Structure 1
Amino acid sequence: MGDAIDNSETTAMDSDTDLEMHPDTLPRTDQEANDGSLGMCDIDVHAPLPVDKVIEESGPNDFSKSKLLQSQDDIGIQLLCNAAADHDLDVRYHRNLIFEVFDERRRVVFRQNSPENSAVYSYCARKKHIAKQMLAEQGIPVPSGNIFREYESALRFFIQSGAVVTVKPADGNAGHGVTSGVSSEAEFSDAWEFAKKESRDIIVEQNIFGEDIRIIVVGGKAEAAYVRIPASVTGDGVHSVRELVAQKNAIRRLNPGLRIDPIKRFDLLERDGISLDYIPEPGDTLQLTSVANASAGGETVQVFDYLDQEILELAERGAKCFPGLVQVGVDLIYTSPDQWQPGLPRGYIIEVNSNPGICDTVFPSYGRSIDVPGKLVSHMFSDAGAQFSRKLPKSTVSLAEPYRYERFGRVFGKGNTRQAALIKQAAYALNLEVKQVAGELFRLTGDNGSCLFHNGMPDRVRMITRKVTRNREWMSTVLPKNSEYAAGQDTQLNRFRLFVVGGKLVSALHVYTSGDRGGLLRREVGDLVHPSIQTVLDKTLSAIFDPMSVGIEFWVGDISSDLSQQPWEVRDAVCNPNLFWHHFPSEGGGRDVAKALVSSVFDEVDFTDIPRVCARFVIRGHVQGVGFRRWLKLISILHSTTGWVRNNQEGDESVVEAVLEGTPSAINRLYTLCHSGPKSAQVDSVDRSELPCSGKSQFSVIS
């Protein structure tokens, strides 16, 4: 159950991007396995998982006496609350699947099954193609494939690959919209339409044959695993498929974890033209659906006791790629013996889940129960889990430094592009490395760590706050106001936008309507804010679970006077506030809130002595008369560098000469960019030499 971030859209890749299929490095198709063309008799394959043995020895688990069968509440939450009670911890339930577990030392906030999840990493997990890319970059084996928005491009890719594929929505969960084992154009068309109901971007990837396993990783350690078996029925020569399904659903209703997910999908039967009224022969097993998710009617078999260390470590490595998630459900295919080849991975991670169901570990269809809720609660209240329950310090007023590029607002683009550009500019000013990850995701890296950003939102922002601030009804009941405030006084109040980072008020804007033009204007008034604002901040941050950064919509008569003596009200709070407003107010100077945000993220880094270097570039090729100087000025601003650029002549050769001063990371990046230049340029070479810094404060284009 992943959660998407607002206003995000990843461009579909309809060509040879992402992970291409290479038949000679993938598990074999069914045909290759059957014709023996690869000499299986000479291969020492690994043993299959003893799924049938577990089913035979265990028999269907009987949970008919469980008190949770009568519960009308979320079963996972009840299991976690029971685990909290076992650990002598207190629980406070809020609403919308949100609750807190706490003792006198620590307070942990859960949303359904997951505590303290990062909003950014939850987004990455939900966007399957992004998750695959992040896994692959760390050397994790993933199925080859691609992402598409147009059917014709996807169909062409499928035909050219010549492989059996899985078709699934790029943005989805619980197996919705997924079809596996697609081998014909007709099946592909049906699978495409099924996936399109869930997402406009569709993933087409190599179908890996083997056991479908979910491994639950808590705090970096694999704690449970189960195989998911697609829904099926076994004939008795008397009952129809419909009747056999009804019998199985009756059994599912006696399992607290499966009772709300009856078998109701029959895509494989439909593919084979088999009616629900068909009566299977005795002993004949019919698989009903191509996916194995429990939500699609699948059954679960506990296999944690039978997995070797290699597979467990693969799951742990996969979970490690998402450090903002405490609990990760790692879905992988354990390749079957008749498909595996020496030198290939024994398992492929097909996706990760930021909010995996925990009922299936406690209430498996077959095999022993594993107390994942207890392990999760225990981890969160251990020394290792302390980092996820960090509470912000008491709020203060610590205004961001004045912004010095107030004349260049147009350089930063529009919409979310502005957010990312301002964060990247601040990063280069602080000598951090910037790496684009995917779409609107990028990573900042320093000597003591890194942070993943989604536009202007750092990975330290928690999913719980994101959910709360998007719920208007909830916000209307929890946001604070002065007890002196009374309805009907709205016209006496003025509107302000506060930007808070790490508990510090770094900027305050007065937002008002122009009498002449009728539009909204913004003016920075941080210097006028009365110290009593700290009470407002403390109450607001506590109400929305102490976000690392937040924009607060604050209404008060006079922000420069004691707030306890006048009516005020907090009307809104957002986790991805508009940075551009604070950098470029309508009137007066702005504040560098992006730099304040990045500095707070890297709070263990000493930014008091940031290194600066100066370099002279001589750019050769077709570089004059193509807008090179203006282009270089603009990107220099985006990288927080100063200096000058001019056209020059070296003998018979026309060149562009520039002297740039900034942090090493910024100058190195500009050196790379200058090898391409603007679109109309043709760069042959860039000569670089180092110069002493002269303390330039601006960037000039010399005629």
Structure 2
Amino acid sequence: MSPKNIEFLRLTYLRGPNIWTYRSVMEALIDIGELEDYPSNLLPGFNERLKAWLPLMIEHHCTPGVRGGFFQRLDTGTWAGHILEHVSLELQTLAGMPMAFGKAREAGPRGVYKVVIRTDNETVGRRSLELSRELILAAIHDTPFDVPAAVAQLALTVDTLHVGPSTYSIVEAAYARRVPFIRLNVGNLVQLGHGVKQRRIWTAETDRTSAIGEGISRDKDLTKKLLAMCGVPIPEGQVVDSPAAAWIAAQEIGLPVCVKPSNGNRARGVSLDLSTQNEIETAYDIALAQGRDVIVERYVRGSEHRLLVVGDRMIAACRGEGASVTGDGQHTVRELVELQINSDPRRGSVGNLPLELVVLADNSPEVLELARQGLTIDSVPALGQSVLVKRTGNMTTDITDVVHPDVAAQAVLAARVVGLDIAGVDVVTPDICQPLGTQGVVVEVNAGPSLLMHLNPAEGQPRLVGQAIADHLVPPSETGRIPVVGLMGDGDTTKSAKLIAWLLHLQGLFTGLACAEGLFANQRCLFKGNAMDFEQAERLLINRSVEAAVFESDARHLLTQGLAYDRCQVGIVTQMPKAAPLEDLYPGPDEKMPSYIRTQIDLVLPSGYAVLNAADEAVADLAQFCDGGVIFFAPDESNERLMAHHQEGGRVGFWRDGQLILAEGTHEQSVLSLQRPGVSRLLKNNLLSTHDMLVAACAAWAMGMDADLIRAGVKSYGQTPSV
């Protein structure tokens, strides 16, 4: 290794809950070599260069717990691994994917560290670490580094691979309520909940969004007809098939008029307040370029408004404003647009900022608007001359709190008439604080509306629209969860997992099982082989038929992939694994293993149970990390840890004189007898051991199964072969 270098030994993406945190992280195993002898305060000029390149890291609190805490650590001296952690998180934040969690820990050998950063995407996390390494080395060796270019490169990756802000707001709102989620593609298709309890979103569309309703919303003329039938005020209009027909229709309707495509969106191709034949015929060609048909309709004076309807409520509303420039006698309209409009930091590419860039393209409504003022894009307006460039598509200001109840009710009715559970309803009215009456109209109902204008308005208060959609799909009284059982041990859990899945199956639940022998759904084998891998196991949670799931895992999968589920109803640890088989992962001594395996118990829901082997002291000690109840099991009732738990009123399971006993307080129930032929058969044929039966019985008890069903299930196990 060259002097003062940082070498990546391995990069591991932990997709599920892991030894570091509940959410996905990138773990980098690095070797800092000679830099182990050079903390930051011993690197000449390094701290100054790093602070100058990334000044916003002043916000990193770090260990001191105060603003500027990380900079304090730099000044007093910290090591390259810790610096890599903070720089990587900062680059992700600057690129538009803010992440706050990171760790840097010695891995054992001198100079070798594990650096962990939160990231929602493997490619983004990997690239942020690589760019951070390059930046840090440039600061160490006093060589140039283009920070804006690096951030722009990473931002492009984020824009391409990360979910959009609308989807992100829904997902984060669901996560805040502990509703699990799974991203189903590289786009914005996300599942909320698991198995049979799941719902799906695609940006602001859901699995409740009617395909017919979406089709109706794209046909603006049909939408207006249906709205009119139900008493929603609309502007009268006609579908036309030529510029000449557009002019004829405009005269019949009454000037001024609006000309727009019948199936456009985001106000593209829409021309307003048209009164002359030339304007209307030109607007026809502009609209036709954006849609299948062209509509001419009565122009209603007033401001544009977008009302967001979710379910049976109006959740948020924004008002639109035109975009204008002021002449200076020197610059063209095109130049003024760049100087006075597009330079606004609130404007940018669609989906990232509250306002879009104004593009002066040929054959566009903007060019027509200029022509109506006797200008072109190359005209030089006089000093002080105001030039209207864009009338539509600028939803700038939140006005949710002042919308009249009648207007909100009309918007909800419009969404319902079209058949949309989530809709953007466009209203034109001079005063949104008054009923629509004869002064205002509903002009469009849009499926899959943008949420950004409500999440990040140019002016006014942001609205919790993501939370409203999450609550619409998964009501606050529900969790979107199915019963999940997770097992971990030291290679002794496969038979126990299969028996638990069998018991749940007999209870009438469509049960999924991911274990070392394969992937099973309702006792049918879907995949033969080790299904503890994350991608195989996650298939159970995506399956819309699965009502309960059992997951076997081990220390290696935990350390290299994370767990496929975020929480469990029952978490089982049967035996504490040893560190020796994991030496390639730098786990440390055996004494460190409980700090890893506790992840299985950390995931137990408050309403659930940890099932722990009282005969293994390290396993029994994990009880302290459980948010729910604890069931101890042991081969016999004389185990001291089990006896103490029982005396305190806790649940325990054990064998006594050939009887499997489940006990709580003074109540005991005998579940199985080794003398029964069915049980003897299982033991004789090595299908199960007494250990497997005990573990499964405790797990089933934790799931609310009664003793009779447990007894019948164990005795019948193995009689019906899996397909």
Higher percent of residues as helix: 2
Return the structure number with greater relative CO, CA threshold 8 A, min gap 6: 1
The reply to whether TM is greater than 0.5 is no
Q: Where on the TM-score scale, by shorter chain, does this alignment land: which range?
A: 0.3 to 0.5
